[in-house]
Amino acid sequence: MALKIRRDDDVVVISGKDRGKTGRVLRVDPKKSRVYVEGLNIIKRHQRPSQTPTGPQAGGVIEKEGPIHISNVMLIDPKDKKPTRVGIAREGGTRNRVTRRSGSKLD
């Protein structure tokens, strides 16, 4: 399933504990319909120190971004910096993502 939000898009969280905060999408998981947003939904993981082929890996409490369901984020319109939905416009056989708010192209 193709998602309308992609890596490096600017999004705003519309529900949940980080509601109203904005950030850049780091990673998208289309199978689970989840996105990872920079600096949002921070989770703590307790990690044991380990030896990897690239060198020792530090242990302790690691803070990293957790997944957010794609329905809980909205893309930010590059023109007026407000949340918008994403549409698809076809031109000459190619699909382009456009914002529903202002109609500007995203790619």
| pLDDT, tens digit, 9 for 90 and up, residues 8-64 | 999 999 999 999 999 999 999 999 999 999 999 999 999 998 888 888 888 899 999
pLDDT at 1 (0 to 100) = 59
> Please, are residues 85 and 94 in contact by the beta-carbon 8 Å criterion?
no
User: For residue 55, what pLDDT is reported?
Assistant: 82
What is the reported pLDDT for 34?
A: 96
Do 80 and 102 form a contact (C-beta atoms < 8 A)? yes
Domain range annotation of the chain: 10-77
Nearest to 3 by CA among 23, 40, 28: 28
Q: What is the dihedral of CA 81, 5, 9, 105, to 10 degrees?
A: -60
The two tokens of residue 73 are 């984020």
Say whether domain 10-77 belongs to CATH 3.40.228.10. Answer: no
52 or 107: which carries more pLDDT confidence?
52
Mean pLDDT of the 59-86 span:
94
Question: Running DSSP on this structure, what letter comes out for residue 66?
Answer: P
